[in-house]
Structure 1
């Protein structure tokens, strides 16, 4: 990946895919996903929808770096569920995505090759049914400035087409803005020429 490549593909909203093999049913759910703290709530909600399912396996991938991921086999044989889900995300070049596959056991063991195929196929079906969108990785910055600098700050925001996430205007003003990652150096340089303005990096989304 090019150093300044900040465009990526992800899913626009939740989608679903189903695969069946020898009585077992695999239902895959794909979610737009950027906050690992929300994983527990999503899993809990899905388990309440499918309380009789035997397994709730998942994988997610975050950011532009292929090393940011997590997998879980939920008591399936090691490597037979979470890993094929993740590999399907990688082969489709998707990130900021979570896929949970719910399995209803049909009474017949599928073996590890069968499980790998089933989790992969269910995941791919949910991706096939999803709306794939292209987005840009963005860095979130906090800006602190004097009210007298408002016009200058807003001009830069308008010229650079920045997204304002929050704002608080008093004598001392504070805003949070999202800056496309490949443009961060240029935008922060523009802000740096304004006196008494402070920039603080918060996170990348």
Structure 2
């Protein structure tokens, strides 16, 4: 499942968020955090298990990748579909990726039934997500440009027009910049740069796309 139709924007969490939801004596401790890999998600889940080792269940869901196409969830012993899926649905409702929500349950002695559990886990997850805050990230492709001093004005005009983020710079007899260009605009940026400099200068795409905190 891919969350986004745009190629260079996704939404994740700005910070961690925690919430406590109580239903008929059972306490549901929810924690929402930003993660960028499956390994990071699994480590975060393990950390919660260790910290809350006396709890009855540790249910969770996460989604990673700029397109949000890698996701997992777990009911951790609760009736199938009553914990992990409602947590994931709350994340999907906010179009989130690179995010994890763990809801830890301390059983209070009263059975809640499938409907009660689904509501409880979903409510706890939503509360933690609300406190974590949603933020837009821009996917930028690193591009290296080189140009002579006399071409500084047209080159900088192109950089400003495309909101290119300068990541590295070197100034000698020529200017060499590594800039982050929105993934969807790389080809257009390259053409504009070459046109503005009438074919002078150099431009090359570098490495893998990177996530930038702009927006």
* TM-score normalised by length of structure 2: 0.72
User: Do residues 57 (structure 1) and 54 (structure 2) align?
Assistant: no
Comparing 177-186 and 74-83, the one that deviates more: 177-186
Hey, what's the Cα distance between the residues in 2 that align with 1:84 and 1:111? 14
Q: Give 3-state SS (helix, strand or coil) of 2:78's partner.
A: coil
Of structures 1 and 2, the larger Rg is shown by: 2
User: Do residues 199 (structure 1) and 201 (structure 2) align?
Assistant: no
Hey, what's the Cα distance between the residues in 1 that align with 2:104 and 2:176? 44
* Match of residue 186 from structure 1: 188
Comparing 2-11 and 14-23, the one that deviates more: 2-11
Q: How far 1:40 moved relative to its partner?
A: 2.8
Alignment of 1:60-79 (within 5 A): 60-63=62-65, 65=67, 67-79=69-81
Give CA deviations for 1:19-76 in whole Å, capped at 9, x if unaligned. 1122211111111232333113322332332121222221122356454322122232
* Match of residue 104 from structure 1: 106
Q: How far 1:202 moved relative to its partner?
A: 0.7
Q: How many pairs does the alignment contain? A: 202
* Match of residue 138 from structure 1: 139
Alignment of 1:109-188 (within 5 A): 109-133=111-135, 135-141=136-142, 143=144, 155=156, 157=159, 160-165=162-167, 167=168, 177-188=179-190
Hey, what's the Cα distance between the residues in 2 that align with 1:177 and 1:107? 58
- Contact 1:29–1:99 (8 Å) recurs in 2: yes
* TM-score normalised by length of structure 1: 0.75
- Contact 2:9–2:138 (8 Å) recurs in 1: yes
Hey, what's the Cα distance between the residues in 2 that align with 1:80 and 1:2? 26
- Ranges in structure 2 where 5+ consecutive residues have no aligned partner: none
Q: How far 1:117 moved relative to its partner?
A: 1.1
Over aligned residue pairs, what C-alpha RMSD do you find? 3.6
